[in-house]
Chains A and B, each alone.
Chain A
Amino acid sequence: MKTIKNIYGNFKHYAFLMQQLIMRDFKVKYKRSVLGVVWSLLYPLLMMAVMALVFSQMFKFRMEGVNYLVYLMTGLIIFNYFNEASNTAMTSVVQNFTLLTKVYIPKYIFPISKCLFVGINFLLTLIPLLLVILFTGSGDTKCIINVWYILLPYIFICMVLFTIGVGLFLSSVSVFFRDMFYIYGIVMTIWQYFTPIFYDINILPKKLQFIMHFNPLYIFINSARDIILFAKSPSIIALLACGASAIVALFIGGIVFKKNQDKFIYYA
């Protein structure tokens, strides 16, 4: 109980710093680009357009009774969030070594602020998703905004917490083991193909389908798709799995980070 209180107090004290770091990232990200923040909206739309073109035209992917654009877009923005946030969180500690060796700042601030910053970006990408939901599909494939949307924030929060956990883990491991930057690039490529972003899980062999249920990204994406595409509530088990993966990731990431953070400085 005391530690929770401590953590909360610390958080409150450093909330302003966190806010400043996020604002810095935001200002620097689109500095000198003409379209600026519009890119946050445009980028996922264009990605979706390219993928839709490639898979529905070149590879003749067909999913009956499903709005393929919305299907793609949901998977894409969730996966992109995780990919970008975990990557920037991983490099955040190493990148800020100049600061960490000079002033005392709780080190967890960096990976967490990165995850939240990309999270804001993620919220922006919900706008193009909404546009796709509203303006594509007809008849059977028309998606409707329904009451289950109230569950979306829960899924997104679980997704962010899960990413923070992974980010904490990666950022502390990469301090000691810089090869992680390269290894993680490969891991992410594998993970991308192993997550049904553009394909239907049913085309996989039964064994793989079973393993897929242990892929947290699949759980998040599938739950969001249940709501957005099929206007139904995700199963209770899926919702619990969302929360469980967030808690487990946070727990493991937090412990690994806390155990090692005092040693970071020697590896600068």
Chain B
Amino acid sequence: MIDVKNVSMKFDLGIEKNFSFKLLFISLFNKKKRVKKEYFWALSKVGFHVKKGEVVGLIGSNGAGKSTLLKVVSGVMKPTKGKVVCKGSIAPMIELGAGFDQELTARENIYLNGAVLGYSKKFLDSKFEEIVEFSELREFLDVPVKNFSSGMVAKLAFSISTIVDPEILIVDEILSVGDIKFQEKSRHKMMEMIHGGTTVLYVSHSLDSIQELCDKVIWLDHGTIKMIGETKEVCDAYYLEQMGMTKEQMKQKQKKEKQKNS
């Protein structure tokens, strides 16, 4: 269960233009360039509730606040205002392989990354074979990860982070990992987890996969919830707005396509 109550997230844009002697010197002569406090609300007053076992999709254009929302829910960031309540263990699959050390071998990285994700040694020992099997990287177990291709790194990372049966799964666009065979396998694995009653928060730009997986969709726009509800309804509305079309145009387009096909 995830309960997001009225969450707002403020970023201070002034931080990048840090206080420094250089800026101080400039501002002495140029009043316009004085450092002002600038804020950016990545999220404002976002609130929703995800029931246990529900699969919720997040859509929205780039910079709408999707990833920020995931980070707030997974506890990486503390919201400026509001509160997030999560019941159950969380498996964040936000950026795969973030915990890898390039110098270490795949075998060592399985343990290191597992520890980063909060697994115990006993658990990793018992699941080690399964991880290796799923990643299809048995031959490369003792090769440093820096020599891996990006696809191989992603496969290994996916295998490690999906080995648990978490109560809450947070996914940021990772189904397109590895080659075709592995993509199919990872999709299957995800479906398995979803059907096993896991609560899922899923971000993707692929409306197809959202429609396939989700029970409910949240549309974020400039840090606020623009629409929340039935998957089909929200996806259609989102698609229309993004393409700048009205409902009639959409219907016509669909008609044309049908005619073409027949």
Contacts and interface: CB of A to CB of B under 8 A. Distances in A.
A101 B94 CA distance: 10
Contacts of A21: 112, 115
Nearest to A262: B78
Given A27-B108, A31-B103, A262-B78, A16 B94 contact: no
A190 interface: no
Interface in A17-56: 17, 19-21, 23-24, 27-28, 31
Interface in B58-111: 71, 74-78, 90, 92, 94-95, 98-99, 101, 103-104, 108, 111
Interface stretch (B116-124, B223-231, B248-256): B116-124
A20 B117 CA distance: 12
Interface in B7-21: 11-12, 15
Interface in A169-219: none
Contacts of A23: 108
Contact of A104 (B11, B75, B95, B112): B75
Q: How large is the interface on B (under 10, 10 to 19, 20 to 34, 35 or more residues)?
A: 20 to 34
Contacts of B119: 16
B115 A17 contact: yes
Contact of B104 (A14, A17, A24, A98): A24
B116 A28 contact: no
A167 B118 CA distance: 24
Contacts of A105: 116
A16 B116 contact: no
Contacts of A135: none
B101 to A, nearest CB: 6
User: Which 7 pairs of residues, A with B, have the shortest CB-CB distance?
Assistant: A104-B75, A17-B115, A20-B115, A102-B98, A102-B95, A262-B78, A20-B112
9 contacts: A16-B120, A21-B115, A28-B103, A101-B71, A102-B92, A103-B92, A104-B74, A262-B78, A266-B15
